Structure 1
């Protein structure tokens, strides 16, 4: 029997959930380090350009598709044409079995460090503690070395939390959680930022490294070929960051938009989601640059010597700075890692929801059973990343999933809507519901945005063919990188081959009298 589709209780609830999906761990450590590496304040120029020509166009596309067809990404693309259903499955499969399996482990690290904050367990050498004591990192990806029980238990707690939130329908599960978590996240982030600004050396770190601008780093018209190439890489990095931070290509925004009521201002919601997400990144950057500036001041070293990128920024640099604080070290540490946990969970539940929505749409299975089975599979799949080789495997898998899996999903979406369906039909649907999307959006979806995503793919391929990523052995890159992508493709293909239940693909719009896209 067909069950009626659950709807968000309010537009605010939808926005909180969508923004929560977009704001994740990468908004805090990835954006800040990229800004440092790519010209400080100058990085905001390509970042905002990328938001305008890639981020907003694709989020409008995904909101429009999900809302118009009232379905998950497999249902949406299967309705366009059975040939496209594989893409519809590819996106949530990559989200669930490509990203969430290791993302949950990183959130688990944050849970461990939240408790470590109360005793400053990392001591005077946070780097040694993180790699040797906490991770007990093996010497290579080939040496698993058994599981790290504290990490495994914390990861299980993360999966239980996702299960608890997603178990109930959208309005009583994810929407309630988003309404609690997002205001709390913004409040705690503000507390950390303003606390950081009071520290010695914090303002200097922000002023000299974040608010200052090295315009040469973004000048892709420079006379020197090497400077030109370096600047081009900065622009590519900015587009990549926008694409990943807005949760595009996951199938998440399509699923979330499918739960919206008939009369919803999609264009306004897309702009708010993008603006709040990017504004949060910039705001949180004040805390990162401030705390690194404080640490550089306290230790008498340069800013460049104090900062490192990736997970080390959160688990090495921040703990070291926390230990140097004059007062309330434990409280500051607990607040910081609580922010990371909340940011991670709001993204994590959306990754689970995208695949849950796909399964319930196709097979009409009971939501509670689907969520329970997925979370049990999830914790099982995450086990490999809780091993002593987990950091290596996480690094390799993340590189290939984000550089190929997500970008490919976004590129194919643009090509299908731009060249098979025609973006004008989708634009007209969005425009009927409130704020208007200008006609230039059609040009972006058909030409400019796919061109940018194609360049991202080619740059990633060229880099991986020139040198092995981070010096890893070829066998490990093939196994945990290429192999993981193939694994996701096989899962997507399996579900694509399963027949739809009778009438599941039939859909009559309850708003307006326009026909289906096809």
Structure 2
């Protein structure tokens, strides 16, 4: 068997992990989830979820991954807890299903890059989205996006994933900062910032049942938690790296990118009067922004820059989602990386044909993953580390770290108590929301 790859540097791991976290969830989903759930009230809950639940959970995946030095399923076996391997399996399955619909949205981004160059969506943004979001065009764009993802993963951990993310993440940040600076010049900037940054807690009180699962799901999505991505990525990590320090850097950079996206999107929407319908569905973001770009001076150039950022973000996450099942199949069954990447990518493309035929199916895939599968995976990870695994395995958190024994003790207590309670509440509210959507016929 070929020698297992590792990251060439600590920066390579951080860029790759940030790349997984910084995806469509930050730039496409986050601003519009915020708009759909009361603006700054959602932002407060989201930030709390990221730092109080997301960060500790990321460290769980890091510990399992680096200690196990295997794919997310085999890692539990190497740790001596084979009976818990199904937990990693849930993550592998979630990555598989998520990439199936995520790639469809990535295809939309490709179509909007073309539309920005040609100006095709300026006349009638709604009609343009209808033309590219479902049917032959959506399927073709889905195929192109998957092909790019497969190509990067097939090159391997260092020559593919690490090299690509080292380029894409700085590019995303630079372009977003430039767009955020430009957005300050818009007439609606002040109103947009006010909506984004001034929480109305009465909105949170009235909509607690919808805001909390949305914010928690968004936190898991933007940090790539529950997909077993961070288990896979940490398995390629050196023993001397500080997991808490690396996790802190990843969470902070990820949060900055999400916040920057809001500083771009809300001034644009308020400048063009498009904020009111910002949260109506998976395609509303594209329709609202396309209409806004069409109404702004130099909108064609700004639109192109924004959708290029979105493409880099989509790819940086899609390669991590494909890496999880590829690592599992290639390591467990001995197939070559390139062959496995092509085979798994092709199967995922086929599974994604249904969401490419209708956005209602995409919404179904999305809700099942983010409101059901991810909370279950995170809950199981917390129970495993908090109550099943021996303390010696948890000492992995302190290896290479200056945070000390007290940090590990507090983290372990938090993972045993606070994280499971928060996730159980989120899971209950999420399942309730899915049931309500089924009753209303949202998915079919």
Q: TM-score range by the shorter chain?
A: over 0.9
The counterpart of 2:368, out of the listed 396, 400, 411, is: 400
> Does residue 1:171 correspond to 2:139, yes or no?
no
Corresponding residue number in structure 2 for 1:455: 425
8 Å CA contact retained: 1:29, 1:313: no
Corresponding residue number in structure 2 for 1:352: 322
Give 1:129 shift: 2.9
* SS state at 1:250 partner: coil
Corresponding residue number in structure 2 for 1:84: 84
> Which stretch of structure 1 is more off in the superposition, 169-178 or 378-387?
378-387
Whose Rg is larger?
Answer: 1
In structure 1, how many angstroms separate the alpha carbons of the residues matched to 2:317 and 2:104?
Answer: 13
* SS state at 2:352 partner: helix
> Does residue 1:134 correspond to 2:132, yes or no?
yes
Give 1:105 shift: 0.9
> Does residue 1:210 correspond to 2:178, yes or no?
no
> Does residue 1:246 correspond to 2:223, yes or no?
yes
Give 1:309 shift: 4.2
Alpha-carbon distance change, 44 to 116 in structure 1, aligned in 2, over 3 angstroms? closer
Alpha-carbon distance change, 383 to 471 in structure 1, aligned in 2, over 3 angstroms? closer
Corresponding residue number in structure 2 for 1:276: 253
Alpha-carbon distance change, 38 to 134 in structure 1, aligned in 2, over 3 angstroms? closer
Corresponding residue number in structure 2 for 1:234: 211
* SS state at 1:73 partner: coil
8 Å CA contact retained: 1:295, 1:306: no
Corresponding residue number in structure 1 for 2:279: 308
Give 1:466 shift: 4.6
> Does residue 1:60 correspond to 2:46, yes or no?
no
> Does residue 1:46 correspond to 2:32, yes or no?
no
8 Å CA contact retained: 2:35, 2:279: no
> Which stretch of structure 1 is more off in the superposition, 67-76 or 428-437?
428-437
In structure 1, how many angstroms separate the alpha carbons of the residues matched to 2:290 and 2:311?
Answer: 16
Give 1:160 shift: 1.4
* SS state at 1:171 partner: helix
> Which stretch of structure 1 is more off in the superposition, 99-108 or 73-82?
73-82
Give 1:375 shift: 1.8
Q: Structure 2-normalised TM-score?
A: 0.93
* SS state at 1:173 partner: helix
Give 1:86 shift: 2.1
Pairs within 5 Å for 1:295-374: 295-296=272-273, 304-305=275-276, 307-326=278-297, 328-374=298-344
* SS state at 1:268 partner: helix
Give 1:200 shift: 2.0
Give 1:202 shift: 2.2
> Does residue 1:198 correspond to 2:168, yes or no?
no
> Does residue 1:255 correspond to 2:228, yes or no?
no
The counterpart of 1:435, out of the listed 378, 391, 402, is: 402
Give 1:50 shift: 1.6
The counterpart of 2:270, out of the listed 273, 287, 293, is: 293
Give 1:470 shift: 4.9
Give 1:443 shift: 1.6
Pairs within 5 Å for 1:477-496: none
* SS state at 2:372 partner: helix
Corresponding residue number in structure 2 for 1:496: none
Give 1:35 shift: 2.7
Alpha-carbon distance change, 419 to 257 in structure 1, aligned in 2, over 3 angstroms? same
Structure 1 residue ranges, 4+ long, deviating more than 4 angstroms after superposition:
none
Give 1:471 shift: 2.5
Give 1:201 shift: 1.8
In structure 2, how many angstroms separate the alpha carbons of the residues matched to 1:100 and 1:232?
Answer: 27
* SS state at 1:471 partner: coil
Corresponding residue number in structure 2 for 1:514: none
In structure 2, how many angstroms separate the alpha carbons of the residues matched to 1:236 and 1:126?
Answer: 30
Q: How many residues align?
A: 440
> Which stretch of structure 1 is more off in the superposition, 309-318 or 278-287?
309-318
In structure 2, how many angstroms separate the alpha carbons of the residues matched to 1:149 and 1:306?
Answer: 27
RMSD over aligned Cα, in angstroms? 2.0
* SS state at 2:8 partner: coil
Cα deviations by residue, 1:67-89 (Å, 9 ceiling, x for unpaired): 11111110112233232222222
Unaligned runs of 5+ in 2: none
In structure 2, how many angstroms separate the alpha carbons of the residues matched to 1:12 and 1:195?
Answer: 30
Corresponding residue number in structure 2 for 1:385: 355
In structure 2, how many angstroms separate the alpha carbons of the residues matched to 1:55 and 1:192?
Answer: 28
Give 1:427 shift: 3.7
In structure 1, how many angstroms separate the alpha carbons of the residues matched to 2:177 and 2:324?
Answer: 30
Alpha-carbon distance change, 42 to 392 in structure 1, aligned in 2, over 3 angstroms? closer
